[in-house]
Amino acid sequence: MKIVEGAGPPQVLEAEGEQEVRRCWPVFKELRPHIAGPDEFVARWMRQRSEGYRIAYIEEAGDVVAAAGFRVMNTMAWGKILYLDDLVAASAAHGQGFGTRLLVWLQQCARALGCDALHLDTGYHRHKAHKSYLRNGFILISHHMAWDARS
């Protein structure tokens, strides 16, 4: 798909198969550098999709410029939520509204799926991301804690 200037917001697409997921790897690796490469990325996607994990993305001039990984979950704390695991725009595409476009699409998706809310966790050091989330209607409601079982 080619995005034409002035043609409105870029279309959000969903990765339906392995080839589309592989096309998302270059942008995902900016957010998840601990993943060894495209083969491990695809293997993780294959495991996670059995849990409802999906990938949405935006392309421009034939390249994926932003992507989001998400799933629907039911929780005791928040009810039915759309959980945003991953949201990333290619560093060369920052400031062009692609992340916001994905957030708006995900908010629409949450409503369409009958979710009570859209939730995400974000690293403390991601200050630009925090500003974007706050601009897009998110509020800070909790701290996420983790315990490393490998140590």
Q: Is the pLDDT of residue 145 over 70?
A: yes
Residue 11, Cβ neighbours under 10 Å: how many?
13
Return the domain boundaries, the chain: 13-135
Question: What pTM was computed for the model?
Answer: 0.88
Give the pLDDT mean for 34-61: 97
Position 3 pLDDT exceeds 50? no
DSSP letter assigned to residue 73: E
Would you identify the CATH topology of the domain 13-135? Aminopeptidase (3.40.630)
Q: Which residues pair with 117 in a beta bridge?
A: 81
Overall average pLDDT of the 77-99 stretch: 94
Q: Left (φ > 0), alpha (ψ -120 to 50) or beta: where does 44 sit?
A: alpha
Rounded distance between C-alpha atoms, residue 103 and residue 118, angstroms? 10
The band of 49, judged by pLDDT with boundaries at 50, 70 and 90, is: very high
Q: How much is the mean pLDDT over the chain? A: 90
